[in-house]
Amino acid sequence: MTTIKDAAAALRDGSLTSTALTQQILDRAVALNPALGAYVEITADAALEQAGAADTALAAGDDRGPLQGIPLAIKDIIAMKGAPTTANSHVLAEDWGAGTDAPVVARLRDAGAVFVGKSTTSEFACGLPDATKRFLVPHNPWNVDHTPAGSSSGTGIAVAAGLALGGLGTDTGGSVRSPAAVNGHTGLKVTFGRVPKSGVVPLGFSLDSIGPMARSAWDCAALLEVMAGYDPTDPNSAQQPVPAYTQLLDGSVDGLRIALPMPYFFDHEQLDPEMHDAVLTAVKQLVGLGASSTELDLPYAAEAKDANHIIMVSEAYAYHRNDLVSRWNDYGVHTRPTLARGAFYTAGDVAQAQRFRRFFSRQVAELFTSYDVIITPSAPVPAEPAAGLSPSKRLLTPSYTGQWNLTGLPAVAVPTGFSSSGLPLSMQIVGKPFAEATVLKVADALQRVSDWHLAVPPVDALAA
């Protein structure tokens, strides 16, 4: 399956047209979506119209950059013209965001991207799939009995299975990185404020971010170049310059200083040994390329996971409170108890979580005075069997992603191999505020000496 980088080159050398590429992607999406549940809606006519426009523009010498003519998936909590936004819920107003593009979608549209459709999300970006509702249940393309993770499930599936070349996810506690990890591709959680998030159904106001999902670090960098930057409609949008991310990917990690926080992240009793070993093997590859690594302690990682959860569900409850009271049964069976949990945290609980947030953020900032990146597993285990998932189980298992939403830092998940059962393994690279260029550079260096990110799941037999 091609990357955005390769497809962009083919579109410019004349060996491929966007119309042909988009039709191939659409045919594949229509055939596989019933089995995989990647899309809520496939916008075939609009996608082919965009593709035709991209071909015409390129033929006329109007080159808008590497995303021109590239088929993408848009997570279904992000407003997009020409398709409804449902948040995979019966609760959201049918006209929410109607006729508008969120700023991030508008930027991609202006860059000439093609939108395959609205991709499946966990309900309101927090619930597990509920088969009693009208939405397709998403499945992991490497093993359909296992979870594709969430909440950006559909974009993760689409990228892995070749139903899009890239797309958008949102990340409040790991919802870009977790699907990237278990579906076997690259996913970037950006610095809080790096990408404007107006036009997006909120989950946690002070935690939410929009991130690119694609096969490679280069592809994510190309997406981020278009997505990033200040927008006045988002009060949290940062007025920071946007680097030419793709031009900074030179394959060099010489002199890079890697911190490996061993307690919790590498020695937790629930950490899968194959995940542990694959990550450390990847670190050794980076050291072989000129980086250095140091094992150390980052205290209070477990408490940081809990603080992130307390803040997230409290902010989500504030948004959903009235609908939970009046429309309890319209929410999914797993979503409603997750959201309602916010009612049981006191003002004191939330205040303490916010106090801890400042403390932990300072602790991590101090660590970054001596190191360039922190590396951990992206998840404690490969994709779990879907039948065993529950909201309560989530509370009792470690998370390696929420700590970086709490601190607002950039973090990218990159593939590091496969388990003995054939499921993807993944490593997480965390950087300083607005150091997306650094984490993408490290990911790109690894992907120049490995090809795990290019593996394609054997899904053709599932075609309808």
Let me know: does 227 contact 108? Beta carbons within 8 Å: yes
Catalytic residue among 175, 216, 237, 378: 175
At 179, which helix (H) or strand (E)? helix 177-183
Q: What is the C-alpha radius of gyration for the chain, rounded to an integer number of angstroms?
A: 20
Measured over the CA atoms of residue 432, residue 434, residue 436 and residue 438, the dihedral's sign is negative
Cα–Cα dist 401/69, whole Å: 32
Catalytic residue among 5, 18, 75, 314: 75
Measured over the CA atoms of residue 378, residue 228, residue 116 and residue 42, the dihedral's sign is positive
Contacts 24+ apart (CB under 8 A), 447-451: 447/186, 447/216, 447/217, 447/218, 447/414, 448/251, 449/285, 449/289, 450/282, 450/285, 450/415, 450/416
Cα–Cα dist 369/356, whole Å: 20
Catalytic residue list contains 252: no
Catalytic residue list contains 292: no
How big is the chain, counted in residues?
Answer: 464
Assigned token pair, 453: 């990110």
Catalytic residue among 18, 151, 152, 399: 151
Let me know: does 383 contact 424? Beta carbons within 8 Å: yes
Question: Distance between alpha carbon 312 and the CA centroid of its chain, in Å?
Answer: 17
Count CA atoms closer than 13 A to 340's CA, side-chain side. 16
Residue 72's nearest CA partner among 93, 99, 98, 43 is: 43
Render the burial of 96-110: b for 16+ CB within 10 Å, e for the rest: bbeeebbbbbbbbbe
Cα–Cα dist 362/332, whole Å: 38
At 110, which helix (H) or strand (E)? helix 103-110
Placement of tokens 């393994």 in the chain: 425
Catalytic residue list contains 175: yes
Indicate the SS3 state at residue 428: strand
Active centre residues (catalytic)? 75, 151, 175
